A and B are shown apart, each in its own frame.
Chain A
Amino acid sequence: MSRYRISGKGRVDHAAPVSFTFDGKTYRGLRGDTVASALLANGVHLMGRSFKYHRPRGAVTAGSEEPNALIGTSRGPGRFEPNTRATVQELRAGLVTESQNKWPSLSFDLGAVNDRAYMLFSAGFYYKTFMWPKSFWDKVYEPVIRGAAGLGRSPTEPDPDHYASRYLHTDVLIVGAGPAGIAAALAAAQSGADVTLVDENPEMGGSLLSDPGVAIDGRPAWDWIDAQLGRLRAAGVRLMTRTTAIGYYHQNMVGLCQRLTDHLDSPPKGAPRERMWRVRASQVVLAQGALEKPLVFDGNDRPGVMLAGAAQTYLHKYGVRVGDAPAVVTSHDSAWYAAFDLADSGAKVAAIIDTRATVRPDLLDAARQRGIEVLAGHTVTTTTGRLRVKSLRAAAVRGGTVSGGRTIPCDCLLMCGGWTPSLHLFSHTKGSLAWDADGGTFLPDRKTEAVEIAGAGRGLWGYDPVLADGAAAGLRALQGLGRAGHPAAFRVANDRPGTGTSHTELPTDGNPGKARAFVDFQNDVTAKDIRLAVREGMRSIEHVKRYTTNGMATDQGKMSNINGLMIAADALGKQPPQVGLTTFRPPYTPTSFGAFCGYLRGETFQLTRKTPIDPWAEANGAVFEPVAQWRRAWYFPKAGEDMHTAVLRECKATRASLGIFDASTLGKIEVAGPDAVEFMNRMYTNPWTKLQPGRCRYGLLLGEDGFIRDDGVIGRLSPDLFHVTTTTGGAARVLTMMEDYLQTEWPDLDVWLTSTTEQWATVALNGPNVLAMLKPLVQDVDWDDFPHMSCAECTVAGLPARLFRLSFTGEIGFEVNVPARHGLTLWETLMEAGKPFDICPYGTETMHVLRAEKGYIIVGQDTDGTVTPQDAGLDWAIGKAKKDFVGKRSLSRPDIVAKGRKQLVGLLTEDGSLLQEGAQIVLDPDQPKPMRMVGHVTSSYPSTMGHPIAMAVIEGGFDRMGETVFIPMPDGVRRARITSTVFYDPDNARLKA
């Protein structure tokens, strides 16, 4: 039995010991313990060092709001996690933990020198210290700051766990399963409503788990909880523990993070570590209770100084007495009960120090019965003890004067500065808060969502009002669904009502300038820092926060915000609401990246589309590249080939004989209906009326602004049927754009659009031998009437096909479309039939080189959304006689017809070097910097012609043919001559074969 464990007490399993290590030492706890409760049971209060001053710290809470006891936890390689709250992490067999911010050891730390130099590290320290000289910014200051920054250490391996996601739709979501939440759930679970009750703790019951002496409806609190949870389960209520509501978003969407395996000795195979729930609730009830505030006095951060409510929780939930001789300092009645419970468990309570001069007589009586000394109207001015509190100094406060201090020995000090309603989630909704001067706290005011706040979350105290309020909130939520239910009432015995007052720092007779009275434990912000910030001109709490870092730690100021506000308001001589409250943002508690990622990692990190021919490419050694959402074969290297060699081989094989290419990713849209040709005339720049069925045409699509959006070859299969192709990346966008015009501008047209991108697998064949190879495989095509730019529905290799004769390479070319299920068969058949011609599979890189040699543009590479048809040299694609088409009016806008627009030209370097795509172009390389850039390289490739080729957009490029321009690069200036974009076969002789 551990020294501070009370035999048989608490909700832990005394028959189930669990071993774990902390900083290399093995300890024993019990099943049901947290790391913090197990350490406390072993008398260990020192659990970490603070972030800035490296001051020794212990657990100050028993929950997720813990600022101090942050530890690293580990379950083998890749499963190390820093900054886990020891007050939340449940014990599991073999758990390995370590303290943080210490070197070389937790009890002896060199960084604690910062603590003695604290006068240097006051508010605004970073802003003041790291200013001058400028030369120190990157050489000295940044390395120093980076070296000291960070909380804990990062894991070094990838996280081997996986994480899950779920959407959930529920009628009523209740956050917090304390008395108010349970009462709300009981009320809401009438009339068949779908109710979900969540709690971040392993067990439901909330504060009742720490108040077992309370009785409800004649049953002890814990029995009552069991009975009610049984009722809820029977009513079909979804009960979720270890589930934290981390964010509250629009229209009652609440994000929940459910921890599934961190508490298990050995998680089942395949189980996710955590699951993120995106819950859409018709009604939400927030029953999150209240968070206890510390009191602010010198030495309030020593190990052993903790919140009174936390001590009460350790006692009742875990059977752990946090000390043998606790002292209590409080401004609220609740801490008196903690003192009584500890006394009743065998502790010798050193004293109850209440800042209030007048205390409820029944509390005084109860203290007297237990022989506890009471110091009402007193303050605590300081504490002693290096690694654990040893004593406190209490002094009387009369008329604002502190006098008569005396030292009281203790082995822990339990403090309570009142309670702050937990309104973080409510604040996420932009619900407004109203200042309650009596309670010294903010309460929920105007709501923006269908939400109820119940219990201590709206400032109520004592189980009787809280239960009644929870039931009423649950009933209102039910009525909000349009359903009826009966009101409920609860009889509470042994209730623990309470009130209190709020403070700034406690009064002291010491030098306030030397007091280390902490407001934000995690970020080491003292009351003095906040007052200094105000003296130095900070007026808004947002400025005070950023200047001091108060409330900016991972606990988001759960314990520090109100104390900080009270002190800032006092220093400014204003009321707290005039100074304001900082904004709470999701997540409520630190949440793992894994939970946010969910399934979006590994092979499902991003949607990756694959063509029907992809398996062949993979089996044949293709290197892939991503193009839009697709993965496409980039090139097919043979043994020993690098990319350059492989691509040149593929290019030459295609120009010499025959190349085969998977073009299945091309967007395809079926445009069908009596008004199809009218629609095409309106959408595309080209004229379509005279295009005969069985023929194709290059189509150019603009936006209304006149800039090129997309292009592709379009075949007319019958008078009222067009087979439109788009760029790979533009498919969805073009269809959406066309649908938009049809639905909203021209709903009168009888024409319909259907995406057929994936209906067809498309194989491109190019090269001088293509006809010889393809003809024997094709049926139903009249070869005497199938010139370049023809199309037909026919049979290829026994498969139903749409055959297009077109070229994106400059060689004779075809695109064979077959139903997608036959794509792979077609490819394999063509590969076989192409053997006598040394058929060469090629990838997107070769496709790019071949098209660039012919000056064919790629929309999105050679154009960037500011290029007109004229700029790209595509005037010929504009139907001049057409009265209107999308973008036509813009082609005569002043900016579009102005001189000096960037125009697409070819570039040949004088030294034969390869230019970089994106490189900037200047006219005079000797001009002073910054140079005037007149354009940039859009495409650049090695070519089959023995020298690299490039395309570029250059101001007034068409008028500069033959001129030399300059491309400054880090290793020197390149010279290049402006040429036509057509480098290969400018007369198209090869297409006419």
Chain B
Amino acid sequence: MTYEKHQFHSAPVLIEDLAPVLRLSLRVKPAHRDTLARVLGLDLPVRVGARSAAAGTEALCLGPDEWLLTAPEGTDLTTPARAVHADAPHSLVDISDREITLRLTGPAVLDLLSACCPRNVAAMPVGAAARTVFDSATVILWRDGIDSFRMDVWRSFAPHVRSLLAQVQGEIAAGL
């Protein structure tokens, strides 16, 4: 499903809905981080905003003891984690339905984001992500390319965020 997708080639910004993915919130103390990383089969970066990926699973460090894991639907990360729970206590909560994800792309995408994002989005490195605010909604912003972002929005905030994005998109199209 696509939301107000421009069909012509040179659209300054594209706003698309992405299909759901498996999304898990992993919480674990630093002492047991390596154990979880090992059984999940991917690196758990320690710098807030850093990402890692392996075999379709991606990890984003959101806080000193918090990672967001994403993977294709149907991936089972819970069973291997549960196996080490006694030795490496942690919390792994399915939040696949908590957020929806928008993909924002195009040469004017930084204008689109800077309408409501107080953070210096232009300075965000490609390959990084951040939990930040878009107007009054908390969002996770992933920079996948120079002109390509993903935005995770809590489901109930999505109508508000979409409406804002559409207004700014119209403004960008007007060229002023």
Contact = CB atoms under 8 A, between A and B. Distances in A.
A164 B168 contact: yes
Interface string A739-770: 00000000000111011111110000000000
A693 interface: no
B115 A164 contact: yes
Contacts of A260: 176
Interface string B99-140: 100000000000100111111101100000000000111000
B57 interface: no
B174 A759 contact: no
A612 B175 CA distance: 35
A260 B27 CA distance: 48
Contacts of B160: 604, 607-609
Contacts of A674: 89
A261 interface: yes
Interface string A236-266: 0000000000000000000000001100000
Interface stretch (B4-12, B35-43, B48-56, B149-157): B149-157
B136 to A, nearest CB: 5
Contacts of A168: 114
16 contacts: A165-B116, A167-B119, A168-B114, A169-B122, A270-B174, A271-B171, A280-B120, A599-B116, A599-B135, A604-B167, A608-B160, A670-B91, A672-B91, A759-B97, A819-B97, A821-B97
Contacts, number: 112
Interface string A780-793: 00000000000000
Contacts of A754: 25, 27, 91, 93, 95
Contacts of A280: 120
A610 B159 contact: yes
B47 interface: no
B115 A607 contact: no
A896 interface: no
A673 interface: yes
A168 B116 CA distance: 11
A630 interface: yes
Contacts of B89: 673-674, 750
B173 interface: yes
A900 B65 CA distance: 48
Contacts of A539: none
B79 interface: no
A930 interface: no
Contacts of B171: 162, 164, 270-272
A649 interface: no
Contact of A603 (B27, B93, B99, B163): B163
Q: Which 6 A-B pairs have the closest CB atoms?
A: A752-B27, A752-B91, A609-B156, A270-B174, A271-B174, A672-B91
Given A270-B170, A271-B174, 7 more contacts: A166-B114, A167-B114, A269-B174, A599-B115, A604-B160, A604-B164, A670-B93
A755 B98 contact: yes
Nearest to A820: B97
A271 B97 CA distance: 36
Nearest to A194: B122
Nearest to A668: B98
Interface in A163-181: 164-169
A166 to B, nearest CB: 5
A185 to B, nearest CB: 20
Interface string A503-519: 00000000000000000
A894 interface: no
Interface residues of B, number: 44
B76 interface: no
A756 B174 contact: no
Contacts of A270: 170-171, 173-174
Nearest to B32: A750
Contact of A673 (B91, B98, B135, B154): B91
A264 B62 CA distance: 47
B91 A819 contact: no
Interface residues on A, range: 35 or more
B96 interface: yes
B135 A607 contact: yes
A759 B159 contact: no
A750 B160 CA distance: 36
Contact of B156 (A162, A167, A269, A630): A630
Interface string A150-169: 00000000000010111111
B141 to A, nearest CB: 13
Interface string B13-40: 0000000100001010100000000000
A758 B116 contact: no
B176 A268 contact: yes
A278 interface: yes
Given A271-B175, A608-B160, A759 B120 contact: no
A611 interface: yes
A750 B174 contact: no
Nearest to B29: A750
A752 B135 CA distance: 28
Contacts of B118: 167, 278
Given A599-B135, A630-B156, A759 B94 contact: yes
A424 to B, nearest CB: 25
Contacts of B27: 672, 752, 754
Contacts of A165: 115-116
A583 B146 CA distance: 45
Most buried by B among A603, A672, A674, A759: A759
A507 B136 CA distance: 59
A560 B51 CA distance: 59
A756 B20 CA distance: 16
Contacts of B173: 270
A758 B111 CA distance: 29
A608 B164 CA distance: 12
B91 to A, nearest CB: 4
A792 B156 CA distance: 26
A219 B159 CA distance: 57
B111 A166 contact: yes
Contacts of A162: 167, 171
Most buried by A among B119, B120, B136, B171: B171
Given A169-B120, A599-B167, A821-B20, A607 B91 contact: no
Contacts of A169: 120, 122-123
A420 to B, nearest CB: 34
Contacts of A167: 114-115, 117-119
A278 B119 CA distance: 11
Contacts of A673: 89-91
Contacts of B167: 162, 599, 604
Interface in A15-36: none
A145 B59 CA distance: 66
Contacts of A750: 29, 89
A358 to B, nearest CB: 53
Contacts of A630: 156
Nearest to B94: A759
A820 B155 contact: yes
A443 B169 CA distance: 45
A608 B174 CA distance: 27
A165 B171 CA distance: 10
Contacts of B120: 169, 280
Most buried by B among A166, A169, A280, A604: A604
B174 to A, nearest CB: 4
A862 B157 CA distance: 29
A599 B166 CA distance: 11
A609 B157 contact: yes
B4 to A, nearest CB: 13
Most buried by A among B91, B120, B159, B170: B91
A185 B65 CA distance: 45
Most buried by A among B20, B167, B170, B176: B176
A672 B164 CA distance: 36
B90 A758 contact: no
Interface string A923-944: 0000000000000000000000
Contacts of A759: 93-98
